[in-house]
Every structure is written in C-alpha cells, then in structure tokens.
Amino acid sequence: MLVVAVPAWVAATNAYIVAKESGGEALIVDAPPDPETLSAALIEHDLTLAGVLLTHGHIDHSGGSGELSRATGAVVYVHPDDDFLTLHPVEQLRAMFGMTPPGEYDVPEKFESLSDGDRLRLAGLDIEVRHTPGHTPGHCCFYLEEQEILFSGDQLFAGSIGRTDFPYGSHQALMTSMADKVMVLPDDTQVLPGHGPETTIGQERRTNPFRAEWERG
C-alpha cells in the first residue's frame, strides 16, 4: 500500500496519492490548486491517475481537480450538496474572504456524484463514502476498511475539528456527523486529515478537546 501526502498551495492542504503499489493505478484524495506538484508526484511513483475524490468543494481541496481531470481523463467525484462551491470557485473566494483572486480555476467538465454509503472501486481499492456534513453541506470522508484508513478532509484533525464559521457551515451538523459516521470506527483506524499531521480514531476519542460535544450528540 502506497500513501503519499502532498501538502500543497497556500493553505498547505494535504492531497493524498493512494495506490496499491508503484507502477500501477492511483487515486488522489483532494486536489489543491497546484496540479503540477501532484502530477510530478504521480510521475515520481510511475502511477496512472484513475480518479480524484474530493472531500468537499472548498477551493484549497478542489481547485486543481479540473486541470488534473483534463490532463489524465480521470473522473472527479464530489457530493452534489457542495456544487455551489465546487462549480464556482471565484464566487466562493469572494464570499468567504471578500477577495477577487488572481488567475483562473479550471473546473472539471463533469463530476460523478457521491452519496452516503457508496462503495467505490478505484485503483484496485475499495472505498466507502461517509457523508459528514458540517464543515460544508456536502463534506464526505473516505474509509478504506481493509487498510484501516480514514481520509477525513476537514472533518477531523489531530487535536481539533473542521471550521464551521464559513458560509453554510454548521457546528451541530459536524458534531452529529462525528458521532454517527466517524467515531463509530475502530480505535486503530488511521486518520489522514486535510491539514496537519495524521492521528488515529482512538487518540482523538481520548484527547480531542471537542470529544464531550460529539459524545453528547
């Protein structure tokens, strides 16, 4: 199993290149607006891109997906509740930060919609989709049960949780998602988040400062 974390763009967003081994097919979890760095990592490991999974539509996680899709033909997957973000990156930045960004962001021509409970088979790997609204309405985590890995996006971090003060965020929804979809996983599950270092479900169950809130939820 090969998992390469590629922190990219100004937000140091963790994109993950995931494959059974070098020299075969890979998937990418989240695609910041730095497709050149991601493409270089694929070349370094002699990998062919089979699909791009977006945990959510914020530009630091999705802004490079269009160029990657056009360059490789890989399908981009995202939950439709985040279409208002994924399909309109410039408007998103204006709404969130009051800025008009320089340059352009290449949106994929077509997305495949994700739904809670979907089972995807990409790059020889079985992936379960867990819809975890809160950070955004369409936020999803991706669970590889066989490998005991959860790609948590901006749902759960080492010692923290995702922000909910952006437009359409909901703290209560995030806590409900945490209780129902994330903290039901085994303690040994490795959590690979959208920012910062990795952790485990057990570590966060014991020490995360927000744990009392999701336990009440």
Instruction: State pTM to two decimals.
Output: 0.95
Distance CA 64, CA 67 (A): 6
Could you give the 3-state DSSP secondary structure of residue 59? helix
The boundaries of the domain holding residue 31 are 2-216
Could you give the 3-state DSSP secondary structure of residue 53? strand
Tens place of pLDDT per residue across the chain (217 aa): 999 999 999 889 999 999 999 999 999 999 999 999 999 999 999 999 999 999 999 999 999 999 999 999 999 999 999 999 999 887 887 776 666 655 567 788 889 999 999 999 999 999 999 999 999 999 999 999 999 999 999 999 999 999 999 889 999 999 999 999 999 999 999 999 999 999 999 999 999 999 999 997 5
DSSP state of 123: T
What is the residue whose two structure tokens read 């809670």?
Answer: 116
CATH number at residue 57: 3.60.15.10
| Percentage helix, strand, coil for the chain under 3-state DSSP, each rounded to 5 | 30, 30, 40
The total number of structural domains that make up the chain: 1
